[in-house]
Structure 1
Amino acid sequence: MTIYLARRLVTMLLTLLALSVVVFVVIQLPPGDFITSYIARLSGSGETIDQAVIDTLRERYQMDAPILTQYWAWLKGMLHGEFGYSFEMKLPVAQIFSERIGISLAVELLAVVVMWAVAIPIGIYSAVRQYSLGDYFATVIGFFGLAVPNFLFALVLMYICYVWFGVTITGLFSPEYMNAKWSLDRFLDFVQHVWAPVLVIATAGTAQLVRVLRANLLDELNKPYVLTARAKGLEKRKVIMRYPVRVAMNPLVSTIGWVLPTVISSSFVTAIVLNLPTLSPILLRALLSQDMYLAGALILFMGVLTMIGTLISDLLLAWIDPRIRLGMVGAN
């Protein structure tokens, strides 16, 4: 296992280096750069353009240098913890991260917890009680969750809460706590607001996990090892939970690899509709304005989260499935 982990870590570092090259090239592909976009916006609004300021910005951030020089300066800065400066938001990228990453993690991880806590028991029930009334009900709700886009569900939920209950569910804080320091009152205010985005984000994921778990568990329930265990007189509930459920959980555990990067990438429109102070709208804004330092840092961070999530997923799969664990040992 130690050799396996060391090999994976080396592979992750090489993959991260290759990803940094791809990210930088993709950001440089659109014609022009932030400075040209900035000049176009000023010209469109009728404002005067100070050429000295433009020349200073180009020189400071080496925008006229060869692309390899720009890439090396960008990579070297990130290795030293300097992620650059966001031209659009006029703030250091590190400061934007520090202000929003905590909220993004809290919302997305809460959504993941809700997804798993709801999907696992429903998926097991639907498989064990196949074609029962509860199974049909879970199937209908699951198809509804998969079919309705998150942003549309958010709009409907906003309308219902406002018209029927007179409650506004946008944002994660009340106005008086928006820029306040963390305290018990601010935490309680956050809890009162966070349920709406968690519900919206978790709906589609829960429906998908229920369908996956139900299908895999149905496939396992009729296999010989389950029938043999039941024939030996073992209690049905213990047999199901100890053997087929563990095997059927494999596809769910493997999804952790893409769950972590959704801290940034998921629900762009939902975050905008609900006015959430997370990283999703920031990434969209950075890509549209060609804010290279902010966009590059966010995309690269998503890649890091994907690799970390994949590693965690592999380790969890080895823990719950001895066959995978034996394969890892054989690979050493």
Structure 2
Amino acid sequence: MRRTIPLILLFSLVLAGASLPKSGPIPTTKPPTHTGTQTAVPTPEAKPETSGEETGSGKVQRQPQQEGTQSVPEEKPGEKDEPPKGDDQKPATDAKDRQEDDKAKDAPVIYPPVESENATEYAKCLSDLKSLGASFSEAKRVDDGKGCGIDKPLDVTSILPDVELSPKGLMRCETALALARWTKEAVQPAAEVAFDRNVKIKALNQASTYVCRLRNNATTGKISEHAHGNAVDIASFTLSNKTTIAIQPRDEDGSMDGAFQRAVTATACLYFRTVLDPGSDAAHETHLHLDVIDRRNDYRYCR
């Protein structure tokens, strides 16, 4: 019994010394496999991997690229949405827009109807024109289609008692009245001052009155005011002394012919809403275009 107690004590000490240590060796990182994946092993000292740039503890080496894999280049800001470059890159046209354009091309052109004259204004115009001594006859309504026509046209042979319209012309009453007033109040006085007080205007030689066409005889564009009976083109003036003053470019003409033309052109804008002379464009180098087209606030276009 006495021997048993010391043996028990000795055995207890041996067992106490044989306990596990408080810490053991850390397992090594498992090497990468060939399947393209890597098992991460957390450790107390683990730090984020960098791309090889220097850190406070030295350089961190890149992981070697696995065989059979392809490196992906780093995407730069804005590079993902940038369209391919090239001079021939154009935005695609929407299919709906193309269909609407095709319909517009195939749609028939709708022309406005011939404008009707106001009965009261027309009656007053006839009275005023007769009082000035103009010679005219009322013609049948003209409707040539395509927006061309005159509701109540006049066939005018003379503007004043002794001033012929050569050749006679078809126009609206408003156009004839403006032409008669201009001739009496501006053209005749200018001729007396420029040439002789006894010289009278004998004829207005016109190049165009009513005609169904586009402006400047073009194939495309807006319809001419001639097609509405609102316009007349004056090519020259015949005087009582048998001379003719032709309309031509005269901006630098220092003669009385030039002064007379510039004077009647300027005064025409008091009677007509549009006046185009040889200085306006090439289409009017041989005549004065005069028309009574309605404009907002009685605006005048004189060139």
TM-score with structure 1 setting the length: 0.22
Query: Is the strand fraction higher in 1 or 2?
Result: 2
Higher normalized contact order (CA 8 Å, seq sep 6+, divided by chain length): 1
TM-score with structure 2 setting the length: 0.24
Query: Is the helix fraction higher in 1 or 2?
Result: 1
